Chains A and B, each alone.
Chain A
Amino acid sequence: MANEGAVSAAPAHAEVTRRATARRVTPRQEGPWRQRLEIALFVTPALTLMAVFVVWPIASAVRMSFYRWKGFGPMDDFVGWRNYDRVLHDQVFTDAIMHNFTIVILSILVQLPLGLAVALLLNRKIRFRGVLRTVVFVPYVLAEVIAGVVWFQLLQPESGVVDGIISGIGLTPPEQGFLGTPDLALWTVFVVLTWKYLGLAILLFMAGLQGVPDELYEAAQLDGATWWQTQRRIAIPLLGPTIRTWAFLSMIGSIQLFDMVWILTGGGPANATTTMATYLINQGTGRYNYGIAGAASVVLFVIGFVMALAYQTFVLRRDTQTEG
């Protein structure tokens, strides 16, 4: 999830802009040309990197999406919007969008309450708190591929550990295995994703809880509030900004979901777990339909971009404004 870094930098970016604005108000000795030169000097390296690794790839994907191109030879077969037409009318792709959004919604519905509950529990003074905090966070630290391969083996039909446990308690595991049954595969992938990413939610929520001033808890105690009331009226509302930021990271991650799906199911069985990212990889490096892959990646980009922008505008704006 390379983008998480970039995305989480967004509030920080706002911070920088604010500081910059503040600085501009203070009178300066140097002339404007010198100031501009300084800016150019400091900004050029970053801009160059950005242009080479962000802007140029995006531009070439957009260009690719208007051609029929097999990945080699001259790119000269211009087809206009045909690749987009094909992608948007391909049921595999529209299903993939549905799968992505299923994961987005499930993540928030399941991981938010679960993560919050665990964070609130681990915030209490309980025995083995340090150990428990570590254990909960371990899956998130594991490399995605390693976690995927381990789960793939655990979920093997018949020989896998999961099937062993299920038949051990007298239930019948699905005949084709959890990953091989089209109706179960997406849910299974989601369970593994929850196992993997719950640690991040808990970590963020616990960090957020550190920011809640102790005085508030003390005051609540003096007023005779129960533990539950304290959490509901004080901790959770004050955790709002953290929760909203986490939800944003989770959404972006789910929209771009690739690694875990690729390892566990490769998008199968019967396209039951295809995501936009697995679709475009399959079309591009698998079938050499680079134009279609380009169109799919532009669609993915637009969806992600619009979602991020809308979320920033309507949900996160409150946080970034009231902060300062």
Chain B
Amino acid sequence: MFASACGSDSDGGDSSSKGGDTTITWWHNSNNEPGKGYYEQVAKDFEADNPGVKVEITAMAHEDMVDKLAAAFQSGDMPDIYMERGGGELADHVEAGLVRDISDDAADEIAKIGGSVAGWQNDGKTYALPFSMGVVGFWYNTDLFEKAGITAPPTTMTELYDVIAKLKAADITPISVGAGDKWPAAHYWYYTALRSCSEDVLKGAVTSLDFSDPCFVKAGEVVEDLLKTEPFNPGFLSTPAQEGATSASGLLATGKVAMEMQGHWEPGVMQGLTDDGKGLGDKTAWFPFPAVEGGAGDPAAQLGGGDAWAVSEGAPDQAVDLVKYLLSDEVQIGFAENDMGLPTNPAASGSVKDPALAGLLEVRDAAPFIQLYFDTAFGQSVGGAMNDEIALLFAGKASPQDVVDATQTAADEAK
């Protein structure tokens, strides 16, 4: 696959020099139907509207795409259109001169998407257009909640502790977490930090990498309080996030636990982990992360992230046109109708059919701001150190202060 991608790149260079014809290479990770076929159709429509342009798609599994992109970044032999996760990672790519600034070319689309685009901006310039954006929250099993006599999802941490106690009393494991993969555990700390710190402090921390505000220590203390209620599945320290029936998502999908905190992709992941391909089916429901009592953060703010189309430096102008087309009302509506993700173009919001996802979309759109996952926002180097230390906090081998110290040390080294 990699060889063909390389070949197509040089084809693009050759043909664009030979008058008129341009080839655009496009990598994406919708390698299953209906997404794969939908994007092929989108490419055909674009070719029909733009004579002389050929779109060459490489659809691959997500992990493969990540590996191949890493190799492409190293060699500089990049596809014209690819996926960016934003934050510190994007900042590194910008610094290395790999991404094209599309602030002016796509000004209309940027205005339409609104606040969500912030994660893909650097120094006031926009480098990619998010096409799917979700928030993290608790996915739960309505049957098990009913069985434990829980009538409404919790809105504060105290209520969450109460729910945990009720579930345990009914002999149900309350929450699964894939702490073996670290990031699912880290999301708890991200959320308690989001609830404990004000927006200004967080925004400041992302740009200055200064974690001296006491709210970051408080975040760890809230996680410790949660851990004291022993809500997690046995063996959670080595549980993977989403591989197999014994993973955190698998446990929720098979009714072994009542809830799991995960991103908007959870229903799709659960479908893949059950034999009938339905996941939790009708029993799936969602509630946002509860408010932390006494925290300075806005309880309506959400933690999230998404995927954005970026154009590599040196790609033909038509690639930018294709990205703009991908964000158009038409394509985004089709994207939503095919359950490919959560569209960022407001015109497509009404087209999301799944009730749980539609509810999540409402929460996302009502959020005063969406904090990009900290590990993405800070970049791999700082984010990785932070996730490692949070995993240690979950294992009882690090204190809330240790998490802040380890993050600060990594940040100081990265500066």
Contacts and interface: CB of A to CB of B under 8 A. Distances in A.
Interface in A72-88: 72-74, 86
A176 B236 contact: yes
Interface string A265-291: 110111100000000001001111100
Given A175-B234, A269-B395, 13 more contacts: A70-B96, A71-B70, A73-B95, A92-B388, A179-B238, A180-B236, A180-B237, A181-B237, A182-B395, A266-B180, A268-B182, A270-B391, A285-B70
Contact of B238 (A265, A271, A288): A265
B183 to A, nearest CB: 11
B413 to A, nearest CB: 8
16 contacts: A70-B96, A71-B74, A72-B76, A73-B96, A176-B237, A177-B235, A179-B238, A180-B237, A181-B237, A182-B237, A268-B182, A268-B391, A269-B180, A269-B238, A282-B384, A288-B379
A115 interface: no
A6 B301 CA distance: 57
B238 A70 contact: no
A157 interface: yes
A203 to B, nearest CB: 32
Given A72-B73, A72-B74, A180-B236, A270 B97 contact: no
Contacts of B330: none
B168 interface: no
Contact of A288 (B180, B235, B381, B388): B381
User: Shortest 10 CB-CB distances between A and B: which pairs?
Assistant: A73-B96, A157-B235, A177-B235, A287-B384, A269-B237, A270-B395, A72-B73, A180-B238, A180-B235, A180-B237
A286 to B, nearest CB: 6
B87 to A, nearest CB: 13
Contact of B73 (A71, A92, A159, A185): A71
Given A72-B74, A159-B246, A287-B381, A270 B98 contact: no
Nearest to B89: A288
B97 A182 contact: no
Interface residues of A, number: 32
Contacts of B73: 71-72
Q: Give chain B's interface secondary structure class.
A: helix
A270 B237 contact: yes
Interface of A: 70-74, 86, 92, 153, 156-159, 175-177, 179-182, 185, 265-266, 268-271, 282, 285-289
Contacts of B96: 70, 72-74
A244 to B, nearest CB: 37
Interface string B78-119: 000000000000001101111000000000000000000000
B271 interface: no
B18 interface: no
A246 B269 CA distance: 45
A289 B384 CA distance: 10
A182 B396 CA distance: 10
Contacts, number: 91
Interface in B365-387: 379-381, 383-385
- Taking residues whose C-beta sits less than 8 angstroms from the other chain, chain B's interface range is 20 to 34
Contact of B381 (A175, A271, A285, A289): A289
B77 to A, nearest CB: 11
Contacts of A266: 180-181
A268 B182 CA distance: 9
A164 to B, nearest CB: 13
Contacts of B385: 287
Interface string B174-200: 000001111000000000000000000
Nearest to A82: B413
B180 A268 contact: yes
A156 B74 contact: no
B234 A177 contact: yes
Contacts of A86: 413
A177 B392 contact: no
B228 interface: no
Nearest to A269: B237
Nearest to B76: A72
Contacts of B392: 270-271
Contact of A157 (B234, B380, B388): B234
A159 B413 CA distance: 43
A176 B394 CA distance: 12
Contacts of B93: 72
Contact of B237 (A72, A156, A268, A282): A268
A287 B395 contact: no
